[in-house]
Structure formats: structure tokens, C-alpha cells
Amino acid sequence: MQTFVRVVEAGSFSAVAKESGGTQSGVSKQVAALERELGAKLLARTTRSLALTEEGERYFEQARRLIAEIAEAEAALDSGHQQLKGWLRVASSVGFGRLKLMPLVQSFLAKHPEVKIDLRLSDGYIDLVESGIDVGARIGDLADSSLVARRVGMSSREVLAHRQYLRNLPKGIEPPRSPEDLAMLNCIVYTGAKMRNAWHFVAGPGAPEPVGTERRVMVAGDLQTDSSEVVRAAVLAGMGVCYTPTWLFEREIASGEVLRLMPDWSRPSPIHLISPQERRHSAKVRAFVDHVGTAFATCTQSPQDVETGSGRSTE
């Protein structure tokens, strides 16, 4: 049953074989054995694709719920006390996963020695259901959907630059004081965000405009990338300015190596942990989300579950 559910979610026998360390033929045989036991055809197979039959569609939804419930029931059977155990699959962008989640993964595993974490880092969009992810981290406002999201904190997107880049500015060019000044600078564009080179700012208390005033400016530069790690490396190499969440350079900002250029023009971004509907009652998921939420002191209100977020950030 578990194999069948993962085949449907992943869309292929080979993907499930790869993640389980088995073979494609072995996965296919398991699904075929399930079909024989049920006396029903669950999957319509072709050389290029898989599709659920009508019976398969009905069975898939029920099987997925049962698997989640069984896992939780087994986790609770330890002398009457809930003992978290088994795999927890967590997905995040590369920079956020490395800088913010990894220390919390380490402390969570120390607290729950029977749990194992599969941490998958990618700056591209990851479909939680298709990839079998239990918890995904997303920065920014989320588009509406049936996924369950919990806001665990807030971050601030600001314009940042290394001291060396500012020292090397041509004569007559000053560090920016307003969004329009960015036209004179080499801007490192992160293409993984929806805004790309259309940078959106909101005036804060110290800005010359009324608080909440929004500005959108087009920027340009000689480097764009879909990797937050490349953005980080380029800024530290003094190649230009970036517009990114400040946590990407937390230590460098604290040391003065990287400077916040327009702190009164920024954009607040919520930090969400999202899960598929069927994982909302998972003890492991809730424990991990609580662990992360407790560590993020920047959260402006108590974490709460809401049905929202396709997993795609609207930024």
C-alpha cells in the first residue's frame, strides 16, 4: 500500500525505486501484488506514463489517509507514551535550509533520537505531495490552496552590499538612499523570486514617504541567478548589491562586513512551514513545526494553522 501511494505521488516506478534503494521491477511487482490481492486494476500503465484507474483513484485517497493514521498509531505505542520515530521529510530553499534549518534539525534530532530527517534543499519549486514531503519551508506570502500552513516567523527583505563594493563605487556615485537610486548600481538579480528585477519596497518609519508607501523599481546588473547561494557568494565577493532576506547575511551584517543600505525601505516576508492535509495530525510534523517556531523569536504572533499556501511564494 505504501509503495502504491508513493508511485502515484511520484508519478513513476523508477522514482520510488531510487528513493527506497530498490529496483524498478521490484516496485512494479509490489504494485502488481497489491492489485492481485484487491482483485482490481489500480494503475493504467504505458511506456511513458502512469494513470490511476477509476478504482485506483478511490483506493489511493483512502490508502494515503490510512498510511498516515497507522504511522501515528505506531508512534504512540511506547509504554503508553508518544515516542516520535521514523523518517521526516523536510524541504527548503538552499540558503534557508543551510543557515536557519540545519541548526534546528540538529537540535531536533538530539531531542528525538528515534527520528530520522531527510532534508531536501532546492531553490526551485518542490511539489510537497508529489515528492512525499512532510514539511516544507516557504518565505513570503503564499497563494491559496488546500495545504496547511503555519507561520513561524517573519523576515525582512532589504538591500545589502559588501563594504568592498561600496568602497569601489565610481566617483560621484553614492550608496542608495531611495529605491530610485538603485538604477546607478550593479544589482544582483535573484530569478527564483517572482519579482525578479522588479524590486518592490515598502516605506518604513524612517523613510521620507508615509509609512506603508509602496515603490516598485526596475533594476539591472551583470549577474542574475536562480541560486540564493550564488547571490550570497557574489555579494561577499563585492560584485554588487542584492535585495534579499537579511537572514542570508545575518553574521556578516552583525560583524559589519555587509551593510544594510536602505533599512527604511524594505519588505516584510512571513516564514511559513507547510504540510499536505493528510500530514496535519502527524505528531512528528507538529513537533518539528513547534520546535522551529519556538526558535524563531521574530514571529509577531502565536503560530497558528491555516488552510492556505500552494507551496509557491507570491514573491
Domain boundaries, the chain: 2-75, 86-150+275-307, 155-268
| Res 41: pLDDT | 92
Helix axes 13-20, 24-38, angle to 10 degrees: 110
* Percent with pLDDT over 70 in the chain: 89
107 contact partners, CB below 8 Å, separation of at least 6: 291, 295
pTM: 0.72
Backbone angles phi, psi at 29, to 5 degrees: -65, -35
Residue 299: per-residue pLDDT: 43
Q: What is the pLDDT of residues 96-137, one digit of tens each?
A: 999 999 999 999 999 999 898 999 999 888 888 777 788 999
Higher pLDDT, 11 or 238: 238
DSSP H or E run through 225: strand 224-225
Average of per-residue pLDDT across 220-237? 95
If one compares 83 and 225, the residue with the highest pLDDT of the two is 225
Is the CATH number of domain 86-150+275-307 3.40.190.10? yes
Per residue in 260-314, pLDDT tens?
A: 999 999 988 899 999 988 777 788 899 999 999 999 854 444 344 444 444 455 4
Closest CA to 285 of 128, 130, 90: 90
Fold of domain 155-268: D-Maltodextrin-Binding Protein; domain 2 (3.40.190)
Which of 1.10.10.10, 3.20.10.10, 1.10.1740.10, 1.50.10.20 would CATH assign to domain 2-75?
Answer: 1.10.10.10
- Tell how many helices (H) and how many strands (E) occur in the chain: 11, 14
Q: Comparing 179 with 308, which gets the higher pLDDT?
A: 179
Lowest mean pLDDT among 33-47, 158-172, 227-241: 33-47
The per-residue pLDDT for 129 is 78
Would residue 86 be called left, alpha or beta, if left means φ above 0 and alpha means ψ between -120 and 50 degrees?
A: left
Same fold, 2-75 and 155-268: no
pLDDT score of 306? 43
Q: 83-96 pLDDT, tens per residue? A: 788 888 999 999 99
